Structure 1
Amino acid sequence: MRFIPTYIVSQQAEARKAHRPREGRHKRPAPENPRQYKYVKILRVILHTIGGWPGEALGEHVPFIIKFIRKYCCAQAVALFVGQMYYLYEKNEVLDFLTKGHCYITCALCVTTIIRTSILSFKKYGEIVKTFIMTFNLGHHQHKGEYYKQMHMTIYKISHYFTLYSVIMMLFGMWLFNLTSVYENIRNGAFSRNRGPDTKLELTIYFSYPGFDPLARFNFVTILNLYLAYNCGIAICVLDLFLSLMAFQIIGHILILRNNFKILPKPAQIMFDAEENENVHKKIVECVQYHREIVSFAEELSSFFGPVLGFNYAFQLVSLCLLLLESSHGHQALVRFGPMTFIIFGQLITLSVTFEVIGTVSEKLKDSVYDIEWECMDTRNRRIVCILLHRVQTPLHVTAMGLTPVGVTTMAAILRTTFSYFAFLRSMSE
C-alpha cells in the first residue's frame, strides 16, 4: 500500500473544498415575475391602504373593502376640503398670519389628494399599471441577452433602494408634521382632564362644519388628523414614486436600444452581401419596433399623467412659497414645516431629474443610429435607417398637460419663481 504524507492529503482536501460550490455564494437573482419584486410588494401593500393598487386590471381578486376605500378616500378628501374652507371663512377675522398660511398649505395638500385619489378609479390608470407590470418591465426581457439581464438588475436595484428611501422619507415627514403639534399639546396640558378653558390647543389640520367644533372633540380630531395625514402622504408621495419607477424602466429600455444599435453586425467585406443584408434587416426592424414600444409607453404616461404632473408643478410652486414662509418664523416653525419643505423640494428635484435623464439618454439615440454601418447596406435597409434616424431626432420627453416638458429646465423656473414669491411674502409679513 502506497504511503501518502498527511500534509498532501490535507492540501487535496482544501483544494476540493475551495472548488466546491457553496450555498449562498451568489446572490439570488430577481424573480422573473415583476409582481414578486420587493419594491412592487411594498407598493402593493401601501397603495392597498387607499385602494390605489389596480388589482382588477392585473387579474387579482380585489375585496369589496378595497374598492370601497378607493371611493371613500376621494370623497373624504373632498369633504375635508369643504371643512377647511368653511373654517377659514368662519375664523378669518381671528386667525393670525402664520395660522392662515398653515391652513392654506393643508388646503393645497387636500386639493392635491383629491386629484391623486380621483385618478385611481380611472380605467386608463389600471391599463398603464398593467402594461408597466405585465409587459414593459425589464424583468420580461432579461432572457433576451446578457446586456438585457445586466440592465434589468441595475434598474431593479435602483428601484428597490429608491422605494425604501421614498417610503421612509414620507413616513418621517408625515409623523414629524403631526407629532410637533401633539408635543405642543402635551406640553400645554391639552390632554389633561383638568384642562383649563384658556389652554392653547393646536391641530395639524384645521376644519369645521356647521354645528361641529373640532376643538370640542379635540382628542378624536387629533387622532383623525394622523389618519388624514397618512392618506395625504400616500396619495402624493407614493404615486410620485410610481411615476419614478416607470421612468426608470423607460431609461433602461433606451439604454438597451442604444446597445442594440451598437452591436449590429459589421460587414465581412466592404459591403454587406445578400445574406448579411437580410440578417441586418431583421435586427433593424426589431430595433424599430422596440423604439415604437418605448415611445408608445412614454406617450401613454404623458397623456394620462400629464394633467397630474401639471397640477403637481402648480402645487409645488404654491406650497413651497408658503412652507418657506412658515419655516422662516422661528425654531418651532422650522421643526414643524422643515421636513415637509425638504420632502416637497426633494419630490420636485427627484421627479424632474429622473424625467430629464429620459430626454438626455434618448437624445443620444440619433448618434447611435448614425453610427450604424448604413453606408454598407442595400437600398432597402438604408431607407429603414433613414426613417429611423428621422424618428429619433426629437428627444423623448414626458410632458405636463402636453405643453411643458417635465425636466430640469421647468424645475429651475419653478425654483426661481418660488424664491421670488417667498421674498415678496416675507417682506409683506414683516
Structure 2
Amino acid sequence: MTRKYAKEEVDFFLLEYPFLNGVRNILDIKYIKILRRCLKTLSAWPSKEVGEKESKYDFIGKIYIFLINLICLPPGVLYIKKYFGVIDFLELGHTYVTVFINITSLIRLLLIFMKSYKNLVGDFINKIHLFNHKHHSEYAMSTYIKVHKVSHFFTMYLNTMVFIGIILFNVTPIYKNISSGAFSNYKTENVTFEHSVYFELPFDYKHDIKGYLVIFLFDWYMSFVCSSCFSNFDLLMSLMIFHVCGHLMILIDKLKKFRRPSIKLLINNIEYEWYSDAEMKLVSRDLRNIILHHSLIAEFVKKMSQTFGPILYLYYMFHIINGCVLLLECSQMSAEALARYGTLTFVVFQQLIQISIVFELLGISNDRLIDAVYSVPWECMDKSNRQKVYIILMRTQRSLAIKAVDMVDVGVQTMALIIRTSLSYFIMLRTFSGEDTP
C-alpha cells in the first residue's frame, strides 16, 4: 500500500512538473546537460569529480584548447605593433578589442587545470545543487522548482545570446566584402578582404583568396572558442549563485517558521512562553541542522571566491579597458562603425551587467537571512539553545558576497563604478583623438 501511494505521488508530481519527467539524478536535468556539453567544448567539465568516468583524452583536450588560444596572442600583438601609428587608432582599435578578448580567454582557461575548480564543480553537483535537498520539506521542493525554472531559462537565454553574437561578429565582414565586390573580383590585385580578427602572419590573407579562406574559417572557430570562454564560465558561476540563493531562501523559511513553544507560564500576571523538555531537544536538533546547513553554504561560497576571485578581478579590468575602446569605436557614429562595434559593445556591457546582477542576488539574500534570525524565539530557550542561536546570528553577520581577490565585492556597485570609469577613459581618449585630428 505504501509503495503504491508513493508511486501515485511521484506520478502526480511529474504530471504537475513535466519538465522533470525522466530525471533520476542531477546529470539528467536538461540545463545541466547543456552546461556539461558547453564545458566539454573547453575540456572544462570535471568528469571524475562529478562521478563520471574520466577520459584519457581529457588532458590532451585541455592542452589543445589552451595552446590554440595561446597561439593566437603573439600574431595579434605583432599586428598592433606593426600598424601602430601607421593606420588610424579607430581602425586599429578592433584588434585591441580582439587581443584583450584573447588575453581574458587565456586567463579563464587556466581554471581547467586547477584542482580547486574541479572540486568546486564537484561540490556544486554533489552537495549544493537543490536536487539533493528538495525532499527536506515542501518549501524546499517549491524552491527547487523555482530555481530550476530560472536556471533553465537563463541557460537557454545565454546560449542564444552567444549564438547571435558570434553570427553578427563574423557576418559583418562578409557583408562588407560582398558590398565592396571583393568576392566577385578576387582575382584582381586591388581587392582587400575584411576579416573579423586580424593577425600578423607570414602569408597574405587580405588580398589572396586562399589565405582569406584559411583565416575566415579560423576566425569563426576562434570566435566560438573565445565566446565559450566567456559565456560558459559565466553560466557556471550564475547557476551556482542561483542554487546558493535557493539554499538561503530555504534557511530563511526555516528561521521564520521555527517551531513555537507550547508551554504558557504566568509570572506576576504576565504570560510567558517556554519550550518543554521534549521540545528543547527538537529545538536543539533544528538549530544544529540550521548551523550545518549555513556552514555548507558559507564554505561553498568561500571556495567560489577563492577559485573565481582572481578571474573576476581580471574580468573587471577587461571591461574597463575594452569598454572605453568599444565606446570610442562606436563614437564615429557611422553606419559601418555601429554595424561592426554596436552589437559587440552591447554584448560586452550586457555581460558585465548580467553577471553583476546575478552576484548581487547573493548579497540581497544574505541580508534577508540576517533579518530572519531575529524571528527565532530565543527568549523561550534554555542556555544551551540560546548559545546555538547566538552562533547562527554571528555567522550570518559575515558577508557571503563573492570578492575579487578579497578586495572588491562582485555586484551592482562595482559594475556602476566600472561603467563610470570606462566612460571617463572614453571621454579622455575621445578628447585626445580630436586633438590629433588635423
TM-score normalised by L of structure 2: 0.89
Which runs of 5 or more residues in structure 1 are unaligned?
1-20
Deviations 1:33-82 (A, max 9, x none): 11111111111122222212222322323444543232112111111111
Aligned to 1:404: 408
1:238 to 224, 227, 232: 232
Deviations 1:245-276 (A, max 9, x none): 10001100001001111121100022112111
Aligned partners of 1:411 and 1:383: how far apart in 2?
Answer: 39
Structure 1 residue 260 and structure 2 residue 240: aligned? no
1:151–1:252 CA contact under 8 A, matched in 2? yes
Structure 1 residue 284 and structure 2 residue 287: aligned? yes
Q: How much does 1:194 deviate?
A: 4.3
Aligned partners of 1:379 and 1:220: how far apart in 2?
Answer: 75
Aligned to 1:391: 395
1:281–1:381 CA contact under 8 A, matched in 2? yes
Alignment CA distance shift 1:265-1:406 (3 Å): same
Deviations 1:214-235 (A, max 9, x none): 4341111111100011000000
Deviations 1:146-198 (A, max 9, x none): 10000000000000000100000011111101110111112223334643222
Letter aligned with residue 248 of structure 1:
F
Give identity over the alignment, percent: 34
Q: Where do residues 265-276 of structure 1 align in structure 2 (5 Å cutoff)?
A: 265-269=259-263, 270-276=273-279
1:84–1:103 CA contact under 8 A, matched in 2? yes
Aligned partners of 1:200 and 1:194: how far apart in 2?
Answer: 9
Q: How much does 1:343 deviate?
A: 1.4
Deviations 1:97-124 (A, max 9, x none): 2221111100100001101112112122
1:347 to 339, 347, 351: 351
Aligned partners of 2:89 and 2:187: how far apart in 1?
Answer: 27
Aligned to 2:195: 203
Q: Where do residues 236-385 of structure 1 align in structure 2 (5 Å cutoff)?
A: 236-269=230-263, 270-329=273-332, 330-385=334-389
Aligned partners of 1:301 and 1:24: how far apart in 2?
Answer: 33
Q: How much does 1:395 deviate?
A: 2.8
**Which secondary structure state, in structure 2, belongs to the residue aligned with residue 392 of structure 1?**
helix
Q: How much does 1:25 deviate?
A: 5.5
Letter aligned with residue 279 of structure 2:
E
Aligned partners of 1:187 and 1:224: how far apart in 2?
Answer: 22
Aligned to 2:430: 426
Deviations 1:264-315 (A, max 9, x none): 1100022112111111000000000000000000000000100000001000
1:32–1:140 CA contact under 8 A, matched in 2? no
Aligned to 2:124: 132
**Which secondary structure state, in structure 2, belongs to the residue aligned with residue 396 of structure 1?**
coil
**Which secondary structure state, in structure 1, belongs to the residue aligned with residue 192 of structure 2?**
coil
Which piece of structure 1 moves more, 398-407 or 85-94?
Answer: 85-94
TM-score normalised by L of structure 1: 0.91
Aligned partners of 1:228 and 1:194: how far apart in 2?
Answer: 25
1:38–1:160 CA contact under 8 A, matched in 2? yes
Which piece of structure 1 moves more, 375-384 or 186-195?
Answer: 186-195
RMSD over aligned Cα atoms: 1.8
Aligned partners of 2:199 and 2:166: how far apart in 1?
Answer: 18
Alignment CA distance shift 1:386-1:24 (3 Å): closer
Q: Where do residues 117-266 of structure 1 align in structure 2 (5 Å cutoff)?
A: 117-192=109-184, 194-209=186-201, 211-215=202-206, 216=208, 217-266=211-260
Structure 1 residue 84 and structure 2 residue 73: aligned? no
2:363–2:400 CA contact under 8 A, matched in 1? yes
**Which secondary structure state, in structure 1, belongs to the residue aligned with residue 97 of structure 2?**
helix
Aligned partners of 1:293 and 1:152: how far apart in 2?
Answer: 17
Letter aligned with residue 288 of structure 2:
V
Which piece of structure 1 moves more, 264-273 or 288-297?
Answer: 264-273
Letter aligned with residue 66 of structure 2:
C
Aligned partners of 1:194 and 1:395: how far apart in 2?
Answer: 61
Which runs of 5 or more residues in structure 2 are unaligned?
1-10, 264-272
Aligned partners of 1:304 and 1:113: how far apart in 2?
Answer: 16
Aligned partners of 1:24 and 1:277: how far apart in 2?
Answer: 38
**Which secondary structure state, in structure 2, belongs to the residue aligned with residue 50 of structure 1?**
coil
Aligned partners of 2:65 and 2:402: how far apart in 1?
Answer: 28
Q: How much does 1:129 deviate?
A: 0.7
Alignment CA distance shift 1:56-1:385 (3 Å): same
Deviations 1:131-157 (A, max 9, x none): 111111000111111100000000000
Aligned partners of 1:301 and 1:116: how far apart in 2?
Answer: 14
**Which secondary structure state, in structure 1, belongs to the residue aligned with residue 376 of structure 2?**
coil
